[in-house]
Amino acid sequence: MSQTLPIRVAAILASQAASAAIQHALLAPEFALTLIDSDHWRGVPAEALLVEVEDDLAVLRSICDEVTGTPIVVLLRAARADLAFAASKAGAKELITLPAGPDEIRQSLRGLLTAQPRTPERQGLPVLFGNHPRMSEIRDTISKVATTSATVLIRGESGVGKDIVARMIYEQSRRSGKPFVKVNCAAIPDDLLESELFGYEAGAFTGATRSKPGRFEMAHTGTLFLDEIGEMQPALQAKLLHVLQDGAFSRLGAKQDVAVDVRVLCATNKLLEQRVTEGLFREDLFYRINVVTVHIPPLRERRDEIGPLIRHFLDKYAAIYGREQAFFSQEAMAALLTYSWPGNIRELENLCKRFVIVGGETQILRELTSRNQHGPAAPVPAPPPPAASAVLLSEPAGRQPAGTNLLEVGKRAAWQAERRLILETLEAVRWNRKVAAQRLGISYRSLRSKIEQIDRDEAAKRHLIA
């Protein structure tokens, strides 16, 4: 890791104890520490954000909800499993429990940043995009729209990577050095969203003692990411449409319009067309934001990314938590490759993280099986577009799996996915089987026997075709 630039850490600390510990640890030239209060964390440039959590997780949740690309570290004054669990669930990437020594504190921050390679610019999350045709299309669209100021609507189920895509568009755009402001329309109560977005003047309503700029103004010259846009109330949608068309709006209680130059990205996991039909979403706004659409397919429609993502997250969290490289057993891999992943990449990431921290493969598998059987039911899969249906079937079209028994079909699908991953990995490492086995997280012997199995399949196929 380059030591030339200090690591910028912003910290929101509530207690004297935390403040003393953090300042003692981070007042070294390797770090640049900024102490901020819980109302002013937005827009502070930092590569890691440290948040002390006492009893209430509200601040942490709102930070985790809005911040993308900067890892959030939670500081606890004493070991509290309930808080640790809730913080991790909210999205914290790392946990420091006091009394932690200065070395330990520094080490956890270094570990976190090594896991996400640093650039002198802003930090981005490491993104892994497979070679699935639909993902390549998305990559193309991103690079094409990034250079324009067009509004982009990013669609897809929860956890598929909509935030990541918004971030990528921003990072590849000319506005990359400018503010990136995210607003989660579902997380802010309806009656507050308007003032959050557009700001207010002093006296606009009871309690508005000072004027306050809204997120649109904060995003001036940059990008505003409106997440879960489908949740916005129709009255506010009208005001949003107005800004998008005229580049101007007025703060609550203001007489004059403010002009802004903001590129807007929107995301939704809702069927907006249906909301339009139901009168919940304005049709004119729908067309206005739907200039360019990026539709991210659910993970179950791009299964060949599951294997590489698992490897990616296991390595990432092993580095973050200073653990040995972790591997799933062969049986576990087969189950993970065929699981329906209703929570998409987020679910997969959390599972890998948990496995790195506490292990317990058997328990994880048991839970997956019961989730597969009893729900939460996988979202109704959209009819796969033609390109996606090729994922699992590397066999000639028309040859259906022999059995119609569910177990059989599952096993077969698992084997197809496994086989594809094995072949891709072997290609990637130029058939160095030892390295391939390591990457796949299986033993050399079991890789050999799988290659033999693939050979036998191929021979049988040739026999069938002949």
Ligand X SMILES: Nc1ncnc2c1ncn2[C@@H]1O[C@H](COP(=O)(O)OP(=O)(O)O)[C@@H](O)[C@H]1O
Is 160 a binding residue for ligand X by CB under 6 A? The answer is yes
What DSSP designation does 252 have?
A: B
Is 163 a binding residue for Mg ion by CB under 5 A? The answer is yes
Task: Write the interaction track for ligand X spanning residues 110-129; mark x where CB under 6 A is met and - where it is not.
Answer: ---------------x-xxx
C-beta of residue 282 within 8 angstroms of C-beta of residue 273: no
Is 186 a binding residue for ligand X by CB under 6 A? The answer is no
- C-alpha pair distances (Å), 327 with each of 70, 313, 356: 27, 11, 9
Distance, CA of 422 to CA of 315 (rounded, Å): 19
Residue closer to ligand X by CB (options 194, 347) is 347
The structure tokens listed for 391 are: 């994922």
Q: Which helix (H) or strand (E) holds 225?
A: strand 223-227
Is 349 a binding residue for Mg ion by CB under 5 A? The answer is no
Q: Choose which of 124, 156, 222, 441 interacts with ligand X (CB under 6 A).
A: 156
Give the list of residues 6+ apart from residue 83 with CB closer than 8 angstroms, or none: 53, 55, 57, 74, 76
The structure tokens listed for 343 are: 């929570």
Strands 94-97 and 48-52 turn out to be unpaired
Choose among ligand X, Mg ion, none what residue 343 binds, the Cβ cut-off being 5 to 8 Å by kind. none
Is 96 a binding residue for ligand X by CB under 6 A? The answer is no
Q: Choose which of 52, 163, 231, 301 interacts with ligand X (CB under 6 A).
A: 163
**Under rule CB under 5 A, how many of the chain's residues touch Mg ion?**
2
Report the SS3 class of residue 183. strand
CB of 345 to ligand X, least distance (A): 4
CB of 57 to ligand X, least distance (A): 18
Distance, CA of 95 to CA of 76 (rounded, Å): 8
CB of 29 to ligand X, least distance (A): 31
Q: Which stretch binds ligand X (CB under 6 A): 112-120, 159-167, 189-197, 415-423?
A: 159-167
Cβ-closest position to ligand X: 161
**Under rule CB under 6 A, how many of the chain's residues touch ligand X?**
15
| Pick from 188, 265, 266, 181: nearest CA to 230 | 266
Residue closer to ligand X by CB (options 200, 341) is 341
CB of 295 to Mg ion, least distance (A): 15
Choose among ligand X, Mg ion, none what residue 159 binds, the Cβ cut-off being 5 to 8 Å by kind. ligand X
Is 217 a binding residue for Mg ion by CB under 5 A? The answer is no
Task: Write the interaction track for ligand X spanning residues 336-355; mark x where CB under 6 A is met and - where it is not.
Answer: ---------xx--x------
Choose among ligand X, Mg ion, none what residue 128 binds, the Cβ cut-off being 5 to 8 Å by kind. ligand X
Is 49 a binding residue for ligand X by CB under 6 A? The answer is no
Residue closer to ligand X by CB (options 129, 233) is 129
- C-alpha pair distances (Å), 379 with each of 4, 343, 417, 438: 48, 9, 21, 34
CB of 215 to Mg ion, least distance (A): 16
Q: Choose which of 71, 124, 161, 307 interacts with ligand X (CB under 6 A).
A: 161
Is 164 a binding residue for ligand X by CB under 6 A? The answer is yes
CB of 332 to ligand X, least distance (A): 20
55: exposed, middle or buried (Cβ count in 10 Å: 0-12, 13-18, 19+): exposed
Distance, CA of 337 to CA of 418 (rounded, Å): 7
Distance, CA of 154 to CA of 290 (rounded, Å): 9
Is 88 a binding residue for ligand X by CB under 6 A? The answer is no
Q: Helices marked H in 377-443 — which ranges? A: 406-428, 433-440
In sign, the C-alpha dihedral spanning 391, 397, 400, 401 is negative
CB of 227 to Mg ion, least distance (A): 5
Q: Which stretch binds Mg ion (CB under 5 A): 154-162, 315-323, 363-371, 404-412?
A: 154-162
Number of H helices and E strands in the chain, helices first, is: 18, 12
Distance, CA of 33 to CA of 46 (rounded, Å): 9
| Pick from 60, 108, 67, 105: nearest CA to 86 | 60
CB of 297 to ligand X, least distance (A): 11
C-beta of residue 87 within 8 angstroms of C-beta of residue 54: no
Q: Which residues bind Mg ion (CB under 5 A)?
A: 162-163
Binding region for ligand X (CB under 6 A): 125, 127-129, 156, 158-164, 345-346, 349
